[in-house]
């Protein structure tokens, strides 16, 4: 892409103390959170015609630790390729060359929150108090929902009427789901507790539960160290590769987000 054409595809907006230079397709940026690894804004994607989240990585090349963290995030997000897990919609940088490269922006799905509260209901004020002010403001400005009962969300017809396991009953399945689908993580059932639940315990296999985690093929993630400039070059190549793979708003090879299909 030529320099002039690339320039024409971006615009800048001040978000707090940070400048977001984003593709023109992303409009109405509003801050929704910040942390050690980046600043996140809600935005409207004019191409996909839906709301998205844009995360700008914080000072990715400040030191080797930041650079390695940025590279890990990009590579691991590429590995997360499942319809039920938030994946990358887009990756971009406003800079035009490796020499200028300093900003990394990730575009992610944001509609999951609305879908969650539509089903489970708007969380209580006690939970809201735990949120960062910018996140709390965003959540409080979302539509309010009463939610549905688990009997309506998961009727008996969804579960097998006949089973080789007598314990596999719809009521037990709903009980487990009601403990798992809790917005407040402090009140959510733990993995160990879930494995002991009557609906799950009949399938429990220690060899599966205690199996080693999947291996990431790129050994540079953990085993190799680089200078900041070397990490920068690796990250730039990843961004350029992902930009090249992006067509019609989503990265080729990633499943279309559920919110986009509905």
pLDDT tens column, 163-192: 555 446 888 889 999 999 999 989 999 988
Look at residue 178 in the predicted model and tell me its pLDDT: 95
Q: Which of 225, 239, 234, 235 is nearest to 65 (CA)?
A: 225
Which residues, in sequence order, are bridge partners of residue 90? 107
Q: What is the DSSP letter of 145?
A: -
Q: Give SS3 for 42.
A: strand
Which are the contacts of 252, defined by CB distance < 8 A and separation ≥ 6?
245, 246
Once rounded to an integer, what is the mean pLDDT over residues 147-168? Answer: 77
Rounded to 5°, the CA angle 199-203-205 comes to 135
Of residues 198, 54, 180, 53, the one with CA closest to residue 119: 180
The pLDDT, as a whole number, for residue 72 is 87
- Choosing among 3.30.200.20, 1.10.1660.10, 2.60.40.10, 1.10.357.10, the CATH entry for 7-113+221-246 is 3.30.200.20
Task: Report the chain's C-alpha Rg in angstroms.
Answer: 22
> How confident is the model at residue 258, as a pLDDT?
38
**138-142, Cβ contacts within 8 angstroms, sequence gap of 24 or more:** 138/30, 138/32, 138/33, 138/42, 139/113, 142/113, 142/114, 142/117
The pLDDT score that the predictor gives to residue 93 is: 93
Please, which residues have CB within 8 angstroms of residue 8's CB and are 6 or more apart in sequence?
none
**pLDDT > 90 fraction of the chain, expressed in percent and rounded:** 34
Domain boundaries, the chain: 7-113+221-246
Give the per-residue pLDDT at 190.
Answer: 94
Quickly state the pLDDT bin for 24 (edges 50, 70, 90): very high
Give me 106's structure tokens: 């990730």
Instruction: Please give the share of the chain, as a percent, with pLDDT higher than 70.
Output: 80
Select from 1, 38, 40, 64 the least CA-distant residue to 234.
Answer: 64
Q: How remote is the C-alpha of 55 from its chain's centroid?
A: 10
Residue 50 has pLDDT above 70, yes or no: yes
Which residues are 35's β-sheet partners? 38
């Amino acid at each position: 892409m030529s320099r002039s054409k690339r320039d024409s595809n971006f615009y800048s907006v001040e978000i707090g103390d940070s400048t977001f230079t984003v593709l023109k397709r992303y409009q109405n940026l509003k801050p929704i959170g910040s942390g050690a690894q980046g600043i996140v804004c809600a935005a409207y994607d004019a191409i996909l015609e839906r709301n998205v989240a844009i995360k700008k990585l914080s000072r990715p090349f400040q030191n080797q630790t930041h650079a390695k963290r940025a590279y890990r995030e990009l590579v691991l997000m590429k590995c997360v390729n499942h319809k039920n897990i938030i994946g990358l919609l887009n990756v971009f940088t406003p800079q035009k060359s490796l020499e200028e490269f300093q900003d990394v922006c990730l575009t992610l799905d944001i509609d999951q929150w609305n879908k969650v509260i539509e089903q489970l209901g708007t969380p209580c004020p006690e939970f809201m108090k735990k949120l960062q002010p910018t996140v709390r403001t965003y959540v409080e400005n979302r539509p309010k929902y009463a939610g549905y009962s688990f009997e309506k969300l998961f009727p008996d017809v969804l579960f097998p009427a006949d089973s080789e396991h007598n314990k596999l009953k719809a009521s037990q399945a709903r009980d487990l789901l009601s403990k798992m689908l809790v917005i407040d993580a402090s009140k959510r059932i733990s993995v160990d507790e879930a494995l002991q639940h009557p609906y799950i315990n009949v399938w429990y296999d220690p060899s599966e539960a205690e199996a080693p985690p999947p291996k990431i093929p790129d050994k540079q993630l953990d085993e190799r160290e680089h200078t900041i400039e070397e990490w920068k070059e690796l990250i730039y190549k990843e961004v350029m590769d992902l930009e090249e793979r992006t067509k019609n708003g989503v990265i080729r090879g990633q499943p279309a987000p559920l919110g986009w299909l509905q």
